[in-house]
């Protein structure tokens, strides 16, 4: 989700990427230049050397392979524990129970659930494949992390809802539950984008568990107590995932690491565009799957999301060319074109009007493109923040914009726009709140989500630095964890 990233120019390592698609020819390097904002990563001091070997050698990573491999053993035990927890706490919901009457759940939800599933496993996976030496890890680890997070999320999120509700009934497994699992997986994958290429598989699995406990608590708090309207997750998913990842990345470091492999090629950028297109096409389903049908809510969500996405796409091409010396940048097009889907999330089912949705998308495209073209390099040089995928630019700032837009549209919502029944469907808390009060609670929810993500992300970064979690010996390199065929 670089879902999203600032790539550095490269030359010599491009030929190793996806060579089977180059017909035996060495691909030319793809690079972009930001004028005076270019940052030459070759000037970054290399990793400390010790007796001719990088400090980041495999020393201290423990046994790899066999029955004592820490990752394999840890993942096996974690999956065994999850199976036991599902056996104790999860049962089929009424819509899947053979003893209950037939339901329309599959008709109502499966199409959009399938779209969200494609976004999580194809969209995110391929969008993160821009690193030309890390394509196997980007797609493969997205598959693993997404599947693991899906299972954990369907346990943790309902758990926190029961804590706030004070009830301890079993978790009913339905298609809606699967959607919430995908939402949790998406949140984790957004955070993964910030530390992509700088974490081992074992570290990522630890991050999944910690983050989902924090995410589940934050989601239940915002939905059950603060009672925000955020149908598409601008605050709950995107802002939380982005700033959790950013805080984790900043604490995790390393700040003076070798960035040689932090580069893309024409071929890896093309594969990343596959992820962009899938995400762009299916984003209306992401925002609309849980919108419901009362008052044409789901229909309105789809319309608003597509209008916002199309506006952010068009504006991104305009701003990218302005900021990149009269040429388009693939990093901008791969990422900022999606910002409209993020920003409209909190208000997608509200009465934004078509021009309002397009305005939100246009602003999102502008701030996201500026973030990739100017801000990310500044944060890297001044603060040592290596946000591999630029999640701050695609999910963080547009998520904040989405929270602000949600407060605005909630604050001007009236019964005349909806009808009394529809208004309390899209904003249930309006039954006992004024429009102004709801706007204030929307802003409170945004602040809580950002604060919660920063604190929990920083603490997770501290945990991931602990010995024994198989810190990677080389960065942005598939050979760290993948067996590669001879090329």
Instruction: Please tell me whether residue 104 adopts helix, strand or coil conformation.
Output: coil
Distance from C-alpha of 8 to C-alpha of 14, rounded to nearest angstrom: 12
Distance from C-alpha of 290 to C-alpha of 301, rounded to nearest angstrom: 10
What is the structure's pLDDT at 256?
Answer: 65
Query: Is it the case that residue 228 has pLDDT exceeding 60?
Result: yes
Average pLDDT over residues 448-452: 98
Confidence of residue 262 (pLDDT cuts 50, 70, 90): confident
What is the structure's pLDDT at 487?
Answer: 55
Is residue 96 a contact partner of residue 174, using CB atoms and an 8 Å limit? Answer: yes
Cα distances from 239 to residues 257, 385, 393, 425, in angstroms, run: 27, 17, 10, 24
Query: Is it the case that residue 51 has pLDDT exceeding 80?
Result: no
Is residue 50 a contact partner of residue 40, using CB atoms and an 8 Å limit? Answer: no
Residue 92 has phi, psi (to 5 degrees) of: -60, 140
> Could you tell me which residue, 127 or 254, shows the higher pLDDT?
127
Closest CA to 150 of 124, 111, 168: 124
- Would you tell me how many other CB atoms lie within 10 Å of the CB of residue 21? 11
**pLDDT tens readout for residues 343-352:** 999 999 999 9
The radius of gyration of the chain from alpha carbons, rounded to an integer in Å, stands at: 22
DSSP state of 340: H
Average pLDDT over residues 189-200: 96
Query: Is it the case that residue 454 has pLDDT exceeding 90?
Result: yes
The dihedral over CA atoms of 164, 346, 281, 137, expressed in degrees to the nearest 10, equals -50
**pLDDT tens readout for residues 127-161:** 999 999 899 999 999 999 999 999 999 999 999 99
Instruction: Please tell me whether residue 29 adopts helix, strand or coil conformation.
Output: strand
> Could you tell me which residue, 44 or 422, shows the higher pLDDT?
422
Instruction: Please tell me whether residue 49 adopts helix, strand or coil conformation.
Output: strand
Domains of the chain with bracketed CATH: 66-466 (1.10.3430.10)
What is the structure's pLDDT at 474?
Answer: 83
β-pairing, 49-50 with 53-54?
Answer: antiparallel
What is the structure's pLDDT at 126?
Answer: 96
Residue carrying structure tokens 């993942």: 75
Query: Is it the case that residue 66 has pLDDT exceeding 80?
Result: no
Average pLDDT over residues 244-264: 84
Minimum mean pLDDT range among 71-75, 340-344, 368-372: 71-75
Share of the chain above pLDDT 70, in %: 85
**pLDDT tens readout for residues 301-351:** 999 999 999 999 999 999 999 999 999 999 999 999 999 999 999 999 999
Query: Is it the case that residue 19 has pLDDT exceeding 50?
Result: no
Confidence of residue 79 (pLDDT cuts 50, 70, 90): very high
Query: Is it the case that residue 3 has pLDDT exceeding 50?
Result: no
Query: Is it the case that residue 54 has pLDDT exceeding 60?
Result: no
What is the structure's pLDDT at 62?
Answer: 52
Cα distances from 132 to residues 25, 30, 262, 371, 418, in angstroms, run: 16, 10, 8, 22, 50
Is residue 221 a contact partner of residue 453, using CB atoms and an 8 Å limit? Answer: no
What is the structure's pLDDT at 205?
Answer: 96
Query: Is it the case that residue 18 has pLDDT exceeding 50?
Result: no
Distance from C-alpha of 236 to C-alpha of 219, rounded to nearest angstrom: 6
The greatest distance separating any two alpha carbons of the chain, rounded to the nearest whole angstrom, comes to 75
Confidence of residue 64 (pLDDT cuts 50, 70, 90): low
Query: Is it the case that residue 240 has pLDDT exceeding 90?
Result: yes
**pLDDT tens readout for residues 201-222:** 999 999 999 999 999 999 999 9
> Could you tell me which residue, 90 or 46, shows the higher pLDDT?
90
What is the structure's pLDDT at 287?
Answer: 98
Minimum mean pLDDT range among 53-62, 273-282, 391-400: 53-62
Share of the chain above pLDDT 90, in %: 69
What is the structure's pLDDT at 264?
Answer: 87
Minimum mean pLDDT range among 13-22, 184-193, 245-254, 429-438: 13-22
Average pLDDT over residues 440-444: 98
């Amino acid at each position: 989700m670089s879902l999203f990233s600032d790539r550095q120019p490269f030359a010599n390592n491009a030929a190793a990427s996806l060579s089977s698609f180059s017909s035996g020819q060495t691909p030319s390097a793809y690079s972009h230049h930001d004028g005076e904002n270019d940052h030459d990563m070759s000037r970054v001091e290399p990793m400390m050397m010790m007796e001719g070997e990088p400090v980041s050698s495999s020393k201290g990573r423990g046994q790899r392979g066999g029955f004592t491999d820490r990752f394999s053993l840890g993942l096996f035990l974690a999956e065994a524990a999850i199976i036991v927890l599902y056996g104790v706490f999860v049962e089929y919901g009424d819509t899947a129970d053979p003893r209950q009457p037939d339901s329309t759940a599959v008709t109502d939800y499966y199409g959009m659930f399938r779209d969200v599933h494609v976004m999580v496993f194809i969209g995110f996976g391929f969008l993160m494949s821009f690193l030309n030496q890390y394509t196997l890890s980007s797609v493969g680890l997205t598959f693993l992390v997404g599947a693991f997070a899906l299972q954990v999320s369907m346990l943790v999120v309902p758990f926190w809802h029961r804590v706030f509700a004070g009830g301890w009934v079993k978790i009913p497994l339905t298609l809606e539950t699967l959607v919430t699992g995908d939402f949790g997986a998406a949140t984790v994958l957004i955070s993964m984008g910030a530390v992509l290429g700088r974490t081992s598989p074992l570290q990522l699995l630890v991050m999944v568990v910690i983050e989902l406990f924090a995410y589940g608590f934050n989601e239940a708090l915002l939905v059950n107590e603060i009672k925000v309207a955020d149908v598409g997750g601008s605050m709950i998913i995107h802002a939380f995932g982005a700033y959790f990842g950013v805080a984790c990345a900043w604490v995790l470091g390393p700040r003076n690491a070798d960035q040689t492999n932090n580069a893309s090629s024409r071929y890896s950028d093309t594969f990343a565009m596959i992820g962009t297109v899938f995400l762009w096409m299916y984003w209306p389903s992401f925002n609309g799957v849980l919108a419901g049908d009362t008052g044409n809510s789901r229909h309105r969500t789809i319309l608003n999301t597509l209008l916002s996405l199309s506006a952010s796409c068009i504006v991104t091409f305009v701003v990218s060319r302005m900021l990149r010396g009269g040429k388009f940048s693939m990093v901008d097009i791969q990422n900022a074109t999606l910002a409209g889907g993020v920003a409209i999330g909190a208000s997608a089912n509200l009465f934004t009007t078509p021009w309002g949705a397009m305005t939100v998308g246009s602003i999102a495209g502008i701030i996201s493109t500026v973030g990739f073209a100017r801000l990310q390099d500044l944060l890297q040089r001044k603060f040592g923040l290596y946000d591999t995928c630029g999640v701050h630019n695609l999910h963080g700032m547009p998520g904040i914009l989405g929270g602000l837009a949600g407060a605005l549209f909630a604050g001007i919502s009236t019964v005349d726009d909806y009808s009394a029944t529809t208004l309390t469907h899209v904003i249930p808390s309006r039954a006992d709140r004024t429009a102004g009060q709801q706007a204030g609670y929307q802003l409170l929810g945004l602040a809580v989500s950002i604060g919660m993500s920063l604190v929990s992300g920083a603490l997770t970064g501290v945990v991931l630095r602990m010995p024994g979690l198989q810190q990677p010996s080389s960065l942005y390199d598939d050979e760290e964890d993948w067996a590669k065929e001879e090329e």
